[in-house]
Amino acid sequence: MSDGGLHGKVHMSDIPEDRLKILERLAPLSLEAALSDKATPEVELWTLSCLEDKLFLHLAGIKKTVISEKGEAVIVRKYYQEALRIWKWLLVAKPVPKFQLSWYDLSPRLQLELTSMDRTGAEKVIRLAVGRIFENIDFDEYHLTIARYLAVEIVP
């Protein structure tokens, strides 16, 4: 077992099989070499909470240029704009509009982490990360109403 520290020695038997698959794709050397004392590369393992944080921070940082009503180019946060776009319709529209998340906006590591999870787990992590965008806009409104109706759709 690991000594509990962040950089403790990791043995093959300590790593769950689903995480081994990810490590095999990420490690520049063979997995056994990457975990041995002689290996120099480090492989960072992410918990679900870490994945949620990294996904939220990644989405929050994506920007796009839009044209204002005055014809000026304005840089906005893409997913905050998406949250504001559907906010007013979440409680009144039938069917409930879905928050649209572009798969290609995600980094290769985020894509890999999400595809290595079961569908239910990945959907939960994505929904929680997107929920934090809504939470930043209006904490009370999000927790009192929006959280119940929020659905995320992944688009190309």
Where along the chain do its domains lie?
1-45, 47-155
From first to last of its 156 residues, the chain has per-residue pLDDT tens of 333 334 444 455 555 666 656 555 554 444 455 455 554 456 677 889 999 999 999 999 999 998 888 989 989 999 999 999 998 888 888 888 999 999 999 998 899 889 888 889 999 999 999 999 999 999 999 999 899 989 999 888
The residues, any chain, with a CB within 8 Å of residue 105's CB and separated by 6 or more, are 58, 59, 62, 78
- The whole-number pLDDT of residue 43 equals 66
Between the alpha carbon of residue 130 and those of residues 36, 61, 83, 133, the distances in Å are 38, 13, 9, 5
CATH 3.30.1640 at 47-155, yes or no: yes
- pTM, full prediction: 0.70
